Structure 1
Amino acid sequence: MIRAEMAAPVRMRRVAVVAPEKALRESLVRIAEAGSVEIDLAWDGGPDVRGPAAMRLRRLRTEPGQAVLSEAPPDLGALEREGRTDLLAGEKQLEERLGSAVRHGEAATLAGWCPEAEVGATAARIAGVGGALVVLRAPRGVDPPTLLTGADTAPPARPARTVRRSLTPLVSTYGTVPYADLDPTLPAGIVYAVMFGVMFGDAGHGMLLVALALLLRAGRPRRLAALRPLWPFVAGAGLAATLAGAAYGEFFGPTGVLPVLWLAPLEEPMRLLAAAVVLGAVLLAVAYAAGIANRWREGGPASALYATTGIAGAALYLGLAAVAGCVWLGQAAFAAVGAVIAVVGLTLAGVGLYATTAGGPGGAVQTGIQLLDAMVRIGSNVVSFARLAAFGLTHAALGAIVWDGTTALADRGPAGVVAALLMFLAGNALAFSLEALVAGVQALRLEYYELFSRLFEGEGRPFRPWQLPVEHIPCAVAGATPPTAGEAVAKEAARRGPAKEEHP
């Protein structure tokens, strides 16, 4: 069962980092080490930043690698002489945040965002040096940044979130989910695996994918170690392909090892085609349901009612689907009910679309074109799922060709047996590689264009916490009484004028 907090992005809190001026640097160092707070900057951190570390880093004319932050205020001159661009880059980032602070007397404040589950731990982390993390009311009209459950920057959690972490790239590649929307990560992964399995239906090939997933989990081969977090995603796709192959009776082709539990693709292509279209129709209905929920969460009942990806679009879709289904089954009398539902949906969608135009005859024409496009898209999107059957048939045909060639060579004596074995291995390797690529791309295409286009109407802003490794440098390098970066940046901020204060 999916818990409520896993059905939406990680809950964010607007926070303020408050600390005495002398304790601000150490508070920020601890925040950077924790990596759980996104801090608002007064400027973009570009050429406008002229702090001491930034100037020294620019003089070195060397591209810094991974930025590192020094725990104690370092001797910037010594770092420049030693060519420590990593520490200078870390100090530059620190200067940007120190310069963005709003100062009042001896206190300084920085605003930002923090996951709700991390507020307590972060507050305790900086309390030891005199800082405080204060929860603020979120500003009106400003959406918090989005962090999906299981993302790399999400708070550490139970091993079950390993699966969600492997599926996060499936959603983030499409775009950033708006903060108000549902988190589609887990359902999207399940749907992707099902569609992939239908097109890659071979139990033998599916088991090879599962074995590949287990190798990735073990960190083998080492050159693919970076892909280790994706092993649950690969295992899910392999399991779906194995189950589909068992239903088709395919095990490295029509070898007869497995009985046909449902249908043989090459013998009943029309039945497979009808099943693929029905599956697509069901998935589109689910996508419309999620779209209604998202429109409601984004803009309330009116937005959900009139949007083409909300109730209006869902009614139009269901009405047209009912008409097509009744005509297909020969129940034309019941098609009238579907037509009424479609007209209601068309009317609601027309009202919503017309409200976004400039009005008048031009607005009416624009609305008519958009309504026609919506109806055409519904039909084309449903038919598009026929590719599940088409590529499933292609996979089965390749398997049959390889198996027929193998059996033909095996009847030609000992040399034929060797040739048959080579034919079987090479043919299945080619079919596995080609079809895995094709099925993977086509499942992604269906997910993005047919389903996600109904879930999302806009894009959110990703949560980017400030996180740097902290280095404990010797006192000799840090210097006995070096000027702090906070003092230098404070002077620069005073020269520029006070930073604009935010009103949460």
Structure 2
Amino acid sequence: MLRAETAVPVRMRRVAVVAPDKALRESLVRIAEAGCVDIDLAGDGGPDVRGSAATRLQRLRTESAQPALSEAPPDLDALERAGRTDLLAGEAQLEERLGSAVRHGTVAALAGWCPETEVGPMAARIAAAGGALVPLRAPRGVDPPTLLTGADASPPAYAARTVRRSFTPLVSTYGTVPYADLDPTMAAGTVYVVMFGLMFGDAGHGLLLVAIAFLLRAGRPRRAAALRPLWPFVAGAGLAATLAGVAYGEFFGPTGVLPVLWLEPLEEPMRLLATAVGLGAVLLALAYAAGIVNRWREGGPAAALYATTGIAGAALYLGLAVVAGYAWLGQAVYGFVGSVIAAVGLALAGVGLFATTAGGPAGAVQTGIQLFDAVVRIGSNVVSFARLAAFGLTHAALGAIVWDGTTALAGRGPVGVVAAVLVFLLGNALAFALEALVAGVQALRLEFYELFSRLFEGEGRPFRPWHLPVEHLTGPVVDAGPPSAGEAAISHAPAGEE
């Protein structure tokens, strides 16, 4: 069961790393190993501080290995001679943070952000090195960085966390969710797979997608190992397509293997079209509801009231929907009530938009254009969901063409049977590849332009904790003179193999 806190980004705390100069390095090494503190750097995050490790690393003019740190202070000259670009790169990052520290006497401090649940364990970890992690009040006007993935590692949360992680790229590709906003990851992923399924509605093709998902989970093929975390996303899309195919009676086309449980797309296109537009209207209403919550969390009641993605926009949308009900049902009361609601929404949105202009006649003209655009966008966005039906019909039509060709060839003797099998296999492979691409792109377009544009008005900053592997050596790396051939081989071994 999902907890309430999963609907918002991970709660962050502003912290300061405080330590005596002699203990600062060890404290930072422990922070790097834990990987849960996003440390502010000098120069607004730029590499203002270039230490001796960075100079040596640049002098080597070789591609740097994955940065790492040694637990004990290393001899930089020895690292340079040994070609340990991994440790030099790690030391360069460490020097950058040491140089970013604010010092008062013999005490140094660095500010940063840490997930609230990690503050206590991180403070204990640093205390063992002689430092301290001090919670601070968040600076006014500065939003914390955003972390969408939960930190709960308990077994009951594993499945939900795995699914959430597979949906995360869908949101992060659009942008970083502002810290004050709702976390739309699970809702966005669920809506995506539903829309994909409606357009890719074939039980046979859906089951193939599910099979591909389990291959990804098993790490096959090896070239696609980087896609392994996405297997729940692919499985969800395949399951949605399978269920839609069962409803349509499609199994590798209209083969008759499955009965039609709901409608046959090519026989009832208008019913499918009305369903798609109706689903789009519901999704837009939910997007407006989430947008109201986000505007309230970002700027309070006024921001929620006047924003075109807040209450004003929702009222305009509701009013136009009621007017559409009048056009459909012919009841005059719907037209009157809808017009009043839409007028209130337009007035509120106009006030909010005019406040962002320079005022005067030019501001009024600009506001009018923006209001007209808002009305047109609502209509076009609702109609845009008709593509769910259009591409569902396309998929069904391709399946019908392949099946008709297969059955036509199958009755022409042994050669015809072989040709029919080839047509069935190649035709379905082509339809699968083409429609998977089209449905995937179209579902993404609907999510981004019709829905996310109402959820977000700005972009947040991603949480990027400093995290490096640490080599736990028994003593400091010292310069013992030019290494022998065997020592050189050891020195060039990857981190952790020495």
Q: Does the TM-score normalized on the shorter chain lie above 0.5? A: yes
Matched, 1:329 2:329: yes
Identity of aligned residues (%): 84
Change (3 A) 1:349 1:337: same
Change (3 A) 1:47 1:116: closer
* Matched AA of 2:62: T
- Where does residue 103 of structure 2 map in the other structure? 103
Q: 1:329, CA displacement in angstroms? A: 2.3
- Where does residue 199 of structure 1 map in the other structure? 199
- Where does residue 29 of structure 2 map in the other structure? 29
Matched, 1:246 2:246: yes
Q: 1:2, CA displacement in angstroms? A: 3.5
CA contact (8 A) 1:72 1:478 kept: no
Alignment deviations for residues 165-200 of structure 1 (CA, whole Å, 9 cap, x no partner): 000000000000000000000000000011000000
Alignment of 1:105-124 (within 5 A): 105-124=105-124
- Where does residue 500 of structure 1 map in the other structure? none
- Where does residue 371 of structure 1 map in the other structure? 371
TM-score by length of 2: 0.93
CA contact (8 A) 2:47 2:96 kept: no
TM-score by length of 1: 0.92
Matched, 1:271 2:271: yes
* Matched AA of 1:49: V
- Where does residue 495 of structure 1 map in the other structure? none
CA distance in 2, matches of 1:65, 1:336: 69
Aligned length: 477
Q: 1:472, CA displacement in angstroms? A: 2.9
CA distance in 1, matches of 2:414, 2:455: 59
Matched, 1:208 2:180: no
- Where does residue 11 of structure 1 map in the other structure? 11
CA distance in 2, matches of 1:71, 1:226: 31
Alignment of 1:150-165 (within 5 A): 150=150, 156=153, 158-159=157-158, 160-165=160-165
CA contact (8 A) 2:48 2:96 kept: no
CA contact (8 A) 1:118 1:155 kept: no
Alignment of 1:257-336 (within 5 A): 257-336=257-336
Alignment of 1:79-478 (within 5 A): 79-150=79-150, 156=153, 158-159=157-158, 160-473=160-473, 475=475, 477-478=477-478
Change (3 A) 1:476 1:358: closer
CA distance in 1, matches of 2:95, 2:152: 27
* Matched AA of 1:242: T
Change (3 A) 1:476 1:380: closer
For residue 255 of structure 2, give the secondary structure of its aligned residue in structure 1: coil
Q: 1:473, CA displacement in angstroms? A: 4.2
Q: 1:44, CA displacement in angstroms? A: 5.7
Alignment deviations for residues 31-63 of structure 1 (CA, whole Å, 9 cap, x no partner): 001100001111367664331111211222223
Change (3 A) 1:58 1:47: farther
Alignment deviations for residues 203-252 of structure 1 (CA, whole Å, 9 cap, x no partner): 11111111111111111111111111001000110110011111111010
* Matched AA of 1:186: M
- Where does residue 41 of structure 1 map in the other structure? 41
- Where does residue 491 of structure 2 map in the other structure? none
Q: 1:479, CA displacement in angstroms? A: 5.3
CA distance in 1, matches of 2:264, 2:468: 56
Change (3 A) 1:299 1:217: same
* Matched AA of 1:39: I
For residue 426 of structure 2, give the secondary structure of its aligned residue in structure 1: helix
CA contact (8 A) 1:143 1:179 kept: yes
CA distance in 2, matches of 1:367, 1:417: 67
Q: 1:331, CA displacement in angstroms? A: 2.3
* Matched AA of 2:39: I
- What RMSD, in angstroms, separates the aligned Cα atoms of the two structures? 1.4
